């Protein structure tokens, strides 16, 4: 299967190249005029070490390590740094890469910038509210956009919709 092979190859490449994994030295997120800002010390207090490594240090979590990759309930995926809503569960799909993937962000939720690190040409995705690094977007997703927003699960939180919560209560 192509998507499984893609996930395996991407995960292997990240490991072999040592691409800013959670355990590696992280570089600081670029400064910007974001509505939510904190000092580096405050970010360290607000975030777990893994969240800090990804959101502020532009790290990448290991593929298949996030429970959000298998999250299929109705709701919203929000930034773990500032709680801004980023993606609807309606746009989530299984890309087979090992990271939560979406074909479209919510309106004005993310910013895209060019990432030329390690000799690669990619488009990085950041939260538009706090500037936290979320992942990358690639042009190999499903219709209707053809895009794959490949996000680090540790950079997000899932909030179940009220309707889903009611349904879950009825099932108990």
In the chain, the largest separation of any two C-alpha atoms, in whole Å, equals: 52
Question: What is the C-alpha to C-alpha distance for residues 37 and 127, in angstroms, rounded to an integer?
Answer: 12
- Cβ atoms of 18 and 122 within 8 Å: the answer is no
**Nearest alpha-carbon partner for 66 in 91, 97, 45:** 97
- The β-bridge partners of 151 are 135
Number of separate helices (H) and strands (E) present in the chain? 4, 9
- Cβ atoms of 17 and 104 within 8 Å: the answer is no
Q: Which of 79, 82, 130, 150 is catalytic?
A: 150
Residue labelled with tokens 């192509």: 2
150 labelled catalytic: yes
Pull the structure tokens for residue 90. 């309606």
| Active site positions, annotated | 150
């Amino acid at each position: 299967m192509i998507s499984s092979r893609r996930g395996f190859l991407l995960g292997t490449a990240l490991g072999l190249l040592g691409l800013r994994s959670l355990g590696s030295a992280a570089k600081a997120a670029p400064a910007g005029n974001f509505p939510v800002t904190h000092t580096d010390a405050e970010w360290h207090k607000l975030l777990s070490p893994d969240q800090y490594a990804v959101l502020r240090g532009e790290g990448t979590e290991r593929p298949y390590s996030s429970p959000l990759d298998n999250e299929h309930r109705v709701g919203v995926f929000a930034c773990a740094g500032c709680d801004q809503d980023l993606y609807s569960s309606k746009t989530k799909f299984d890309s087979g890469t090992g990271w939560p993937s979406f074909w479209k962000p919510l309106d004005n939720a993310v910013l895209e910038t060019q990432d030329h690190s390690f000799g690669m040409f990619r488009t990085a995705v950041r939260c538009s509210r706090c500037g936290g690094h979320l992942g990358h977007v690639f042009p190999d997703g499903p219709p209707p956009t053809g895009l794959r927003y490949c996000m680090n699960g540790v950079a997000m939180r899932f909030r179940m919709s009220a309707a889903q919560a009611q349904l879950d209560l009825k099932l108990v």
